[in-house]
Amino acid sequence: MLLKTFGWSFAVTAGGLALAGVLWGWKGLAIVGILSILEISLSFDNAVINAGILRKMNAFWQKIFLTIGILIAVFGMRLVFPILIVTITAKMGPIEAIDLAINDKEQYEHLVTAAHPSIAAFGGMFLLMIFLDFIFEERDIKWLAWIERPLAKLGKLETLSIVVALGALLFTASTFAEDVAHGGGDKSATVLLSGVAGLLTYLVVGGISGYFEGKLEEEDEAEEESGEDGAEAAKKPGGPTVVGLAGKAAFFLFLYLEVIDASFSFDGVIGAFAITNDIFEMALGLGIGAMYIRSLTVFLVNKGTLDDYVYLEHGAHYAIGSLAVLLLVTIKYEINEVITGGLGVALIGLSYWSSVVRNRREAAANSGKEVSSGV
């Protein structure tokens, strides 16, 4: 099970480290290894969130996530995205941007770093919406009930998450964006525009995927109400409860997953410049880390971990909320990646331990009931 799930990750790691050693020597090998660990630590919560979405999809789309999705994650976000940012912000051609990345690494790093306010605003707003829609939703299982219960009641007000997110964006633009740490000057207009773009992206992609998902669920319920036996209906091809979502619903969920991955990767790409400004070392190191995150996502789905440890999704969403806030704060202030990654790991660790305690408590309670009934 472990080798089957992580086999490709192990192979990519061995090949990637060997390539780094050949191309850049021991120093390059160390840099690629450090970047891999950085990516895994920063994106562990991403794997939990992805698993919650991926388990809704059928086997075909899960394979697409591991193949096409990893190509987008590695080459798209870790290699092409920084070059695209330089192309847009510096208003130069892609060939010129690639030449700059290879031959003038310091200037390339400067241009990518200068684009940080717009990147952070887009990613921060997208992730903030994920967190707000989760925390404002009424759900049976609550982790921090003293927070989640009153917020779920407030969440009955429609569009509340949008209002809160826009309020956070306005606050960010009027405070953190007035004198930014990266690039200098007033970036209020840039932050507002990028933040609204992140919000719209969430609403469009998430809304469309939710629409198709809901439509499939309605069709499934209609089939059951028409007189089919529930167990037989679940076995039908395309039944979303067993084989998972397919078609348009799965496609838009796949897009949603890719945007989530992109938002998580922003801080990793920017933080990688603290270790190296070589675009190929960066892509290789972060790409290896991204492979493990993908494999971990599939492992969580196959093992049913989210069903066994019910607070993990809560912890991951709290980690998303904290990352969103930190991204917005980094528009003005430098925040070490250790803090960003460590906070997410800590929240997921706490939610995992809470799940273990809950499972033990329920097991003890059920054992007591069995003893009582036996007497």
Tokens 């897009």 belong to residue? 255
pTM here? Answer: 0.78
Percent of the chain with pLDDT over 70: 85
Q: Is the pLDDT reported for residue 357 higher than 70?
A: yes
DSSP string, 168-217: HHHHHHHTTTSS-SSS-S--HHHHHHHHHHHHHHHHHHHHHHHHHHHHHH
DSSP string, 103-148: H-HHHHHHHHHHTHHHHHHHHHHHHHHHHHHHHTS--S--SSHHHH
Percent of the chain with pLDDT over 90: 15
- Give the per-residue pLDDT at 350: 93
User: What is the average per-residue pLDDT within 1-13?
Assistant: 80
Q: Which position has the higher pLDDT, 163 or 339?
A: 163
- Give the per-residue pLDDT at 373: 59
- Give the per-residue pLDDT at 286: 86
CB 181 within 8 A of CB 334: yes
Distance between the two ends of the chain, CA-based, in angstroms? 42
- Give the per-residue pLDDT at 162: 94
Q: Which two tokens stand for residue 165?
A: 């997110």
CB 49 within 8 A of CB 316: yes
Q: Name every residue whose Cβ is closer than 8 Å to that of residue 355 and which is 6 or more positions away in sequence.
A: 308, 309, 310, 311, 312
- What are the pLDDT digits (tens) for 87-117? 887 788 888 888 888 888 888 888 888 888 8
Measure Cα distances from 236 to 162, 211, 228 in Å: 38, 22, 11
Q: Residue 230 — very low, low, confident or very high, per pLDDT cuts 50/70/90? A: very low
CB 245 within 8 A of CB 238: no
Other Cβ atoms less than 10 A from the Cβ of 148: the count is 20
Other Cβ atoms less than 10 A from the Cβ of 232: the count is 11
**Residue 223 parent element (H or E):** helix 188-225
Of 251, 297, 246, 248, the residue nearest 58 (C-alpha): 246
User: What is the average per-residue pLDDT within 5-11?
Assistant: 83
Collapsed DSSP state (helix, strand, coil) of residue 21:
helix
Q: Is the pLDDT reported for residue 225 higher than 70?
A: no
User: What is the average per-residue pLDDT within 21-34?
Assistant: 88
User: What is the average per-residue pLDDT within 176-198?
Assistant: 80
- Give the per-residue pLDDT at 233: 44
Q: Which two tokens stand for residue 251?
A: 């496609």
Average pLDDT, the chain: 81
Of 164, 245, 134, 255, the residue nearest 201 (C-alpha): 255
Q: Is the pLDDT reported for residue 242 higher than 50?
A: no
Residue count of the chain, please give it: 375
Residue ranges per structural domain of the chain:
2-364
